[in-house]
Amino acid sequence: MPTIFILRHRRENLKKCSLTGLEGKPGLSFSTYPIDPLPNLSESLLLKVSAPPITSADFKKDFLLIDGTWRLAAIMEKQLPIPLEARSIPGSWQTAYPRRQTDCPDPHAGLSSVETLYVIALILGRCPEGILDRYYWKEDFLQVNKEQISKLLKNDHSDYRGN
């Protein structure tokens, strides 16, 4: 089973972090930037808004999710020991997070870390149960993306076949 590596900036407020509480979930591996050594990422794909979309060929690869503000995430990406091939989430997923930052490349498509994690779990065919439990905007996110969620829950991965 592929691992989703999460690189979280040390300045992330863990009381407000949407990923807090998921640290022990199977298939997830958390590291704190710049404190913890990074795992071997040589076979991993970086999740990034402006990248080519995930295809079915990527389903067995590990992923790296950078968790921090858009500005800090850009710095963290530049500090990775090797350049990683990047992928984005295909389709028209919408964030429910009330973004105030101006440095997001696409404010509506730039999902929060927990939203991204939820979608990646669905894409990879994993049970997404519990991922959104602590997310304040959970119901809004599920509502605005209900068609795409329903499609993936029915195991319809036609958007990810690389066509």
Q: What single-letter amino acid sits at 139?
A: E
Question: Dihedral (C-alpha) 8, 38, 85, 63: value to the nearest 10 degrees?
Answer: -60
| Per-residue pLDDT reduced to its tens digit, 50-60 | 899 998 889 99
| 71 has pLDDT over 80 | yes
The pLDDT-based confidence of 163 (bands split at 50, 70, 90) is very low
The pLDDT-based confidence of 132 (bands split at 50, 70, 90) is very high
3-state secondary structure of 67: strand
Q: What single-letter amino acid sits at 20?
A: T
* pLDDT (mean) for 25-34: 94
* pLDDT (mean) for 60-87: 93
| 49 has pLDDT over 90 | no
Alpha carbon of 13 to those of 20, 23, 65: distances in Å? 10, 15, 17
DSSP character at residue 141: H
Compute the residue count for the chain.
Answer: 163
